[in-house]
Homo-oligomer: A and B are copies of this chain.
Amino acid sequence: MPARSARPATRKVRLPLAEVYRLLEPGPVVLVTTGGPGRPDVMTMSWLTMMEFEPPRVGCVISDRNHTFGRLVATRECVINVPTVELARQVVGCGNVSGRRVDKLRRFGLTAVAATKVGAPLLEECWARLECRIADDRLVEEYGFFVLEVVAAWIDRAREDPRTLHHRGRGVFAVDGELLKLPSRKK
């Protein structure tokens, strides 16, 4: 499906797939976009985990009460967009209303741009964007748990200090603070 805006993404460069885990392993709140019939939609999500480095696989839980659930099941594609603290208002806003009733991209001033491998749109305002396809749906019926494969990834390398959000429940978010560098022998 075409995204709302035809203008190309700006300032974003392709991220090697082997680096995707460095975005999601820290547990940021993300914005999940879906395409399909009608306008593009977006939901806020915090229940996700890396499952494999390369090809990168991501596991996530989406309740069948969410509008996104049916759209993801139908199209088998989505985009995981990683916002930074500057988008905190939009992140909470997208979590508080349903795409069944509201054009969330319009309401929260988010710009859809075309992805390269999936029909769901990228969000121009986000620091990073991961194009995903469903890889395994065995646990969807019981837990709403989707295994996704990341098929293309984009990042804004111009952002020097991207600070992501970590939801602690009830509208409280911890923002990334200081960075520690410790000697690790592993990824």
Contact = CB atoms under 8 A, between A and B. Distances in A.
Nearest to A135: B143
A12 interface: no
A15 interface: no
A174 to B, nearest CB: 4
Contacts of A186: 95-96
B177 A178 contact: yes
A22 interface: yes
Contacts of A52: 61, 143
Interface string A16-38: 00010110011110000000000
Contact of A50 (B61, B164, B172): B61
A133 to B, nearest CB: 16
Interface string A115-134: 00000000000000000000
Interface residue tally on A, bucketed by range: 35 or more
B60 A26 contact: no
Query: How many identical subunits does the complex contain?
Result: 2
Does more than half of chain A's interface fall in helix, strand or loop, or is it mixed?
A: mixed
A134 to B, nearest CB: 14
Interface in A50-95: 50-52, 57, 59-61, 85, 88-89, 92, 95
A147 interface: yes
A47 interface: yes
Contacts of A170: 22, 184, 187
A175 B139 CA distance: 32
A44 to B, nearest CB: 9
Give me the 10 closest cross-chain CB pairs, A-B, nearest first.
A27-B27, A177-B177, A171-B184, A26-B166, A22-B169, A49-B49, A174-B176, A92-B182, A173-B180, A96-B185
